[in-house]
Amino acid sequence: MPRIAREEGRRLFGADPAGYDLARPGHAERVYEVLVARCGLRRGARVLEIGPGTGQATRRLLELGAKPLVALEPNSVLASFLRNALGDRVDVHETTVEDADLDPASFDLAAAASSFHWVEEDLALSRILDALRPGGWVALWWTLFGDGNVPDAFVEATSPLLEGLRLSPTAGEEGRPRHALDTEARSSALASAGFVAVDHELARWDASWDTAGIRALYGSFSPLLRLEEDRREEILDAIALVAERDFGGRIGRTLTTALYTARRPG
């Protein structure tokens, strides 16, 4: 099944930033615990964020002390949303990490929350390594909707509605695990870029949505965002019908956050 191209994916999420921000559940608190305990996130830490989107992770990074926080957001609509929401607390650059003009050894921490599948991994990691000070850290994480080890009744009930849609890069390469769960590939890319102390962990947590919320959540996924409006609305209405009719209008799901951390030598 063809994947959504990187350039298209970077454009899609600007369609409705406010709706996306309301629909997405954020990320596991365990991520931020690791950033503080292991990766040097503290008051005055110099932080680079790649692909902040609507700023769900950005806000937590600021709360935990990031200053300055430089955010690389190539989508002009999302960049404007961030500036309006966070003002001068974040320095938004409308560029990709591949093309960004970054001073060498200028950051303590680089972070990417559910965005790094939209970049050219090897080049991006090389740019990040150069931008970190010796001993600085990178943290990449993704929140997955479901737990691969536990059957998900809602996924099983709605999957037929999504058949034939173009896949997000989060689906992973043909014959391999999902992108975030491909520990071998992600860890190898970090090590090949020159990082050390490469580590990986999974954090499982629970969230729930009412019918309108689960409809909005699915409407924020790239395979649906790229459809013509009539087709997208038809699928979302069908998902909402399943939620209301078969699940009593309340969907509880286990989410899995996959976190990778690594350090620049020195």
**Which residue range forms the structural domain that includes residue 54?**
6-147+175-206+254-263
3-state SS record for the chain: CCECCHHHHHHHCCCCHHHHHHHCCCCCHHHHHHHHHCCCCCCCCCEEEECCCCCHHHHHHHHCCCCCEEEECCCHHHHHHHHHHHHHHCEEECCCCCCCCCCCCCEEEEEEECCHHHCCHHHHHHHHHHHEEEEEEEEEEEEECCCCCCCCHHHHHHHHHHCCCCECHHHCCCCCCCHHHCHHHHHHHHHHHCCEEEEEEEEEEEEEEEHHHHHHHHHCCHHHHCCCHHHHHHHHHHHHHHHHHHHCCEEEEEEEEEEEEEECCC
Q: pTM for this structure?
A: 0.95
Q: What is the pLDDT of residue 232?
A: 97
177-221 pLDDT, tens digit each: 999 999 999 999 999 999 999 999 999 999 999 999 999 999 999
Answer yes or no: is 182 within a domain. yes
Assign 2 a pLDDT band (cuts: 50, 70, 90): confident
Q: Is residue 156 part of a domain?
A: no
Q: What is the pLDDT of residue 173?
A: 85
Does a structural domain hold residue 102?
yes
| pLDDT for the residue numbered 18 | 92
The percent of residues in the chain predicted with pLDDT above 90, rounded, is 92
Q: What's the average model confidence in pLDDT over 76-81?
A: 96
* Banded model confidence at residue 174, pLDDT cuts 50, 70, 90: confident
In a domain, 167, yes or no: no
For residue 218, tell me if it sits in a domain: no
Residue 129: inside a domain? yes
The CATH number linked to 133 is: 3.40.50.150
pLDDT band at 148 (very low <50, low <70, confident <90, very high): low
**What pLDDT band is residue 147 in, cutting at 50, 70 and 90?**
low
Q: Considering its fold, how many domains does the chain have in total?
A: 1
Mean pLDDT (whole number) for 3-21: 91
Q: 85-135 pLDDT, tens per residue?
A: 999 999 999 999 999 999 999 999 999 999 999 999 999 999 999 999 999
Q: Is 159 a domain residue?
A: no
Q: Is residue 91 part of a domain?
A: yes
